[in-house]
Amino acid sequence: MTSSDNSSAPSFYAISSSARQLFLLLRCISFAPKAQVQITKEGIRLSAEDSRVMQGLAFLDKSLFSTYNYIPPRKSSHQATNDAGDDLESDDDELDLPPFQISLPALLETLQIFGFSETKDRWSSRDSPYAGGMNGAFPRAGSAAAFDTRVLGMTGVCRLSYSGIGEPLCIILEESGVTTTCKLVTYSPEAPEEIPLRRDRLAQKIIMRSSWLHDAINELSSTSPTRLTITASPTAPYFMLSSSGPLGSATVEFSKDPKLLETFQVNRRSVNTYKYSLIRATTKAMAIASKVSIRCDEQGVLSLQFMIEVEGGGVSFVDFRFVPFLPEEADEEAPDDEGGEESEEYDEDE
Amino acid sequence: MTFLSSTLTPDSVNKVHDAIICLAKFSESVYIEAHRHELILSTINTSKSAHASFVLNGGRFFTRYRYSPGISRGRPATDADERPFACRIYNKALLSVFKGRISDPKEKDTAVEKCEIALEDRPDKAECRLVIRMICMHGVVKTYKLTYEPAEAMHALFDDNAVVNRWQIQSRLLREFIDYFGPKTEQLDMYKENGRVTFTSYTEKITDGKEILKQPLQTSVAIDTLEFEDFSVEERLHIAISVKDFKAIVMHADTISTSVSARYSLPSRPLQITYEGDGMLCKYTLMTIGDYRASSTTPAPALSADGRLLTRDGSRMASVPVGAHSASSMPPPQRPASHKYASESFTQRTPRPSPPPPKASLDPESLFVPQDEDAEWDDYQRVDQSEDVLGWDASGDHHGVAMHFSNDERGTNESSQNPPNDSSTMRIAPTQRLSEVRGLFD
């Protein structure tokens, strides 16, 4: 694999010493059955979406891999025969590999095929609403069993490779002399439209510890709500999450205490309503992240950006975006699935 | 307008949580009753055979407690305004609000600093909610507004004067015992003999034709009466309550590790378990049933002794006013209720080798009717007369006669179903020994 001249060489090839890290990051966006994969020079970008109103994006930076080898298809090189290069026209000399889709559950299943058995049990027992932010993401030397493969330094190796359109994503996992080769079918991509967040016209930007947001979201689940209302205001109550359900309503307010809200930039009061179950789908990320940045633009598009510290001291980010309910409807108990219209409406605005 | 405002420490929040966990084991809703100086959480189970209440002392349990009863509900003040405010809340809602908060050390940063409970019931406000605010570290405030339903709280009436049996023991000891009670057992029998108390949890075998609906199971724990802090119980008196209720009570009592006291009079009369700690008075009123061996398949030698108990067993269906029937119809031993019940149980239960009978059966003396059997009859008359009819009373008048749970709405219904006969005039003196009668429905 050292020579890129070899025509049979995959255009993407990466080795990671820990499938677990990849697993933890990808699990955060496991709310959808399929993920769109875009391989770039900097890393692998996986995104998932739900009903066009929620998007999740996990970026596997190339620093997560011990070897990261990506040969972009060249338009006018000797590799022009490569399928990937044929139908793409660009002025750039280098082209990105076209994105593809992949079954997310299958990918996750593959990555944990050797089972993080001990750790997994720990997760499941701690996967309670109060699991806090520390589990899984950090090395826990004290709690690992004596013959844990990680302790013995026998952590498995995970190799990823992809050669181009129509080819499967190949994952080879090796652990203690056992090798598993998985080929995951890739699907043609869907319209890769991002939910646009207007970074230049942000209505709010709040950075806080992720576990507090996690706690608040769990608190609200007591009312079995369908909607979550996020209120941010330059005056008290500064930041408020509220929901209501058949048993009553619940509200969690945050003060402006810098210990609590590390960053608090709110120009004017904004009230937006989102579907609770979608926000709730990010709890896996909330649980393992250390910090979260909650941004919202003037149109109410919400961005939750989670900073996840991975083993080895690096930092990874998982991003989520949500389209709000239309404000006029915010007070009514409308059915939950008007998300489609809203995103259309939103697209028109854009 | 009714107004309630109170503040709790995190410690008390946990205690409220323990209390509602316990209440949840009885019923899915909780009655909240506000008095001037105390807040009462209570519940009654669906079969109305167990009532649990927690009296939270306004001064000791709360750091602040203020309650002003409604005085201007658009009508002149009446007696009704002096009544405590009561409402009913779905327990799940409360549980999710008070769920274990301090137990998780990781959540230190979001630990509750104080909890405020407020309630405003105003005629001019359409939205009445019980407002619970958890004020946490760093100025995080969690507010819950729970819907409630206005309701009359139920009170269990318990006749303190009738109490002849009482014991008191450390909750820790009881906690050890309940581990031995099988999870599938239903009843818990308490029995004292020769300075030892036997707690027996058991399930009776129930068959429907050849199909076995319930397998018999029995576990006994015997302890010396010296283990009790106070013990005064009639010798050889069998009294049974539900294991599930008992477990729920003991589990809770253990959380405040205190001494638990039980007081009761006779089987089929209510038994009350109370304990107290940190400004919280916990009181459970449980209906009891008689000796279980009586109606099951005890070996023949125990017949006469059992016969004696069998009549008591007739009132096993706690809410059936057996006394009323017996007076007018038959010679006492053949009271319809007991007859019916006994014959049912004899046809349904297939004979089985009795579990090793507790000491009682080994004692040959106990196999025979005591000499003073007539005293037993007297006893029944007394039972009959002190109306076994269910009475309902929401006035909270605890001096009412004898037993049962009370509620105005149900009162008329229940008592019309079972009109209390004038038993004293209709009574026929007993003429026949039970042991002789037994053959009729064997």
A123-135, pLDDT tens digit by residue? 433 333 443 344 4
Task: Examine residue A128 and state whether it is found in any structural domain, yes or no.
Answer: no
Task: Examine residue A256 and state whether it is found in any structural domain, yes or no.
Answer: yes
Q: What pLDDT was estimated at residue B150?
A: 85
**Average of pLDDT values for B300-321?**
34
Q: Is B97 on the interface with A (CB under 8 A)?
A: yes
Q: Is A251 on the interface with B (CB under 8 A)?
A: yes
- Nearest-5° angle of CA B174, CA B179, CA B182? 120
Q: B138 and A132 in contact by Cβ < 8 A? A: no
Task: Indicate if A173 and A236 belong to the same structural domain.
Answer: no
Distances (CA, A) of B228 to B76, B235, B276, B343: 53, 15, 17, 39
Q: What pLDDT was estimated at residue B376?
A: 43
pLDDT of residue A232 exceeding 50:
yes
Task: Indicate if A328 and A206 belong to the same structural domain.
Answer: yes
Q: What pLDDT was estimated at residue A314?
A: 82
**Per-residue tokens: A173:** 């996992």
Q: Is A215 on the interface with B (CB under 8 A)?
A: yes
pLDDT band for position B271 (cuts 50, 70, 90):
very high
Q: What pLDDT was estimated at residue B347?
A: 39
Task: Examine residue A146 and state whether it is found in any structural domain, yes or no.
Answer: no
CA-based nearest distance A165→chain B, Å: 47
**Average of pLDDT values for B406-421?**
45
Last residue of a domain, one of A166, A187, A208: A187
Closest CA relative to residue A94, chosen from A115, A78, A72: A72
Task: Indicate if A178 and A212 belong to the same structural domain.
Answer: no
Task: Indicate if A173 and A203 belong to the same structural domain.
Answer: no
Q: Output the furthest CA–CA distance in chain B (Å, rounded).
A: 79
> Residue A252: its chain B contacts at CB < 8 A?
140-143
Mean residue pLDDT across chain B: 71
**Per-residue tokens: B199:** 């707690």
> Residue A249: its chain B contacts at CB < 8 A?
129, 144-145
Q: Is B140 on the interface with A (CB under 8 A)?
A: yes
- Nearest-5° angle of CA B108, CA B114, CA B118? 140
pLDDT of residue B20 exceeding 80:
yes
Nearest to B106 among A134, A250, A257 (CB): A134
Q: What pLDDT was estimated at residue A340?
A: 39
Full domain range(s) for residue A28: 12-74+94-114+156-187
- Please tell me whether residue B81 adopts helix, strand or coil conformation: helix
Q: What pLDDT was estimated at residue B70?
A: 65
Q: What pLDDT was estimated at residue B111?
A: 78
> Residue B142: its chain A contacts at CB < 8 A?
216, 219, 250-253
Number of domains in chain A: 2
Distances (CA, A) of B412 to B391, B393, B394, B402, B407: 8, 10, 12, 18, 9
Nearest to B104 among A130, A248, A253 (CB): A130
Distance (Å, rounded) from C-alpha B18 to C-alpha B20? 6
Closest residue in B to A209 (Cα) is B109
Distance (Å, rounded) from C-alpha A159 to C-alpha A283? 28
Residue ranges with strand state E in B38-177:
38-44, 50-57, 64-68, 85-90, 112-121, 129-136, 141-147, 149-150, 155-156, 165-170
Query: Between residues B434 and A295, which one has the greater pLDDT?
Result: A295
Model confidence pLDDT, tens digit, residues B47-69:
889 999 999 998 899 999 998 87
Cβ–Cβ < 8 Å for B334, B359: no
- Please tell me whether residue B400 adopts helix, strand or coil conformation: coil
> Residue B146: its chain A contacts at CB < 8 A?
247-248
pLDDT band for position B357 (cuts 50, 70, 90):
very low
Distance (Å, rounded) from C-alpha B237 to C-alpha B190? 8
Angle between helices B303-313 and B373-385 (to 10 degrees): 10
Task: Examine residue A149 and state whether it is found in any structural domain, yes or no.
Answer: no
Q: B140 and A248 in contact by Cβ < 8 A? A: no
> Residue A130: its chain B contacts at CB < 8 A?
104, 106-107
Q: What pLDDT was estimated at residue A346?
A: 39
Cβ–Cβ < 8 Å for A119, A111: no
- Please tell me whether residue B121 adopts helix, strand or coil conformation: strand
Q: Specify which of A111-120, B359-368, B432-441 reaches the highest per-range mean pLDDT.
A: A111-120
| Chain A interface, best mutation among B20, B101, B117, B142, by max A CB count within 10 A | B142
Mean residue pLDDT across chain A: 78
Task: Indicate if A219 and A295 belong to the same structural domain.
Answer: yes
Task: Examine residue A129 and state whether it is found in any structural domain, yes or no.
Answer: no
What is the percent of chain A with per-residue pLDDT over 70, rounded to a whole number?
Answer: 73
CA-based nearest distance A275→chain B, Å: 20
Q: A132 and B107 in contact by Cβ < 8 A? A: yes
Q: What pLDDT was estimated at residue A147?
A: 57
CA-based nearest distance A310→chain B, Å: 19
Q: A253 and B144 in contact by Cβ < 8 A? A: no
**Average of pLDDT values for A301-308?**
94
Task: Indicate if A241 and A292 belong to the same structural domain.
Answer: yes
Assembly ipTM: 0.73
CB contact burial B3-12 (16+ within 10 A = b; e otherwise): bbbbbbebeb
Task: Indicate if A180 and A216 belong to the same structural domain.
Answer: no
Q: A132 and B104 in contact by Cβ < 8 A? A: yes
Q: How many residues does the structure list for chain A? A: 350
Task: Indicate if A103 and A251 belong to the same structural domain.
Answer: no
Task: Indicate if A251 and A281 belong to the same structural domain.
Answer: yes
Residue ranges with strand state E in A91-238:
100-103, 157-162, 169-175, 178-184, 186-187, 202-209, 227-232
**Per-residue tokens: B84:** 């405590």
Task: Indicate if A98 and A204 belong to the same structural domain.
Answer: no
Residue ranges with strand state E in A1-72:
12-16, 34-39, 43-50, 54-61, 67-70
Task: Examine residue A224 and state whether it is found in any structural domain, yes or no.
Answer: yes
Q: Considering only A297-311, B104-118, B343-357, which range has the smallest mean pLDDT? A: B343-357
CA-based nearest distance A206→chain B, Å: 15
Q: What pLDDT was estimated at residue B250?
A: 94
Distance (Å, rounded) from C-alpha B164 to C-alpha B235? 12
**Average of pLDDT values for B21-35?**
93
Task: Examine residue A82 and state whether it is found in any structural domain, yes or no.
Answer: no
Residue A303: beta bridge partners? A295, A321
Task: Indicate if A16 and A39 belong to the same structural domain.
Answer: yes
| Chain B interface, best mutation among A209, A214, A223, by max B CB count within 10 A | A223
**Average of pLDDT values for A64-78?**
76
**Average of pLDDT values for B232-244?**
90
Distance (Å, rounded) from C-alpha A278 to C-alpha A227? 9
pLDDT of residue A120 exceeding 50:
no
> Residue B104: its chain A contacts at CB < 8 A?
130, 132
| Chain B interface, best mutation among A125, A219, A238, by max B CB count within 10 A | A219
Q: What pLDDT was estimated at residue B408?
A: 45
The pairs formed by A258-264 with CB atoms below 8 angstroms and a separation of 24 or more are: A259/B138, A260/A208, A260/A212, A260/B138, A260/B139, A260/B140, A261/A206, A261/A207, A261/A208, A262/A207, A262/A208, A262/A209, A262/A291, A263/A205, A263/A206, A263/A207, A263/A293, A264/A205, A264/A206, A264/A238, A264/A239
Residue B129: beta bridge partners? B147
Kindly list the structural domains of chain B, giving each domain's residue range(s) and its CATH number in brackets, ordered by start: 2-153 (3.70.10.10), 160-441 (3.10.150.10)
Q: Considering only A168-177, B218-227, B342-351, which range has the smallest mean pLDDT? A: B342-351
Q: What pLDDT was estimated at residue B119?
A: 86
Cβ–Cβ < 8 Å for A319, A303: yes
CATH code at position A64:
3.70.10.10
pLDDT band for position B383 (cuts 50, 70, 90):
very low
Task: Indicate if A246 and A104 belong to the same structural domain.
Answer: no
> Residue B110: its chain A contacts at CB < 8 A?
211-212, 215
pLDDT of residue B6 exceeding 80:
yes
Task: Examine residue A168 and state whether it is found in any structural domain, yes or no.
Answer: yes
Q: Output the furthest CA–CA distance in chain A (Å, rounded).
A: 67
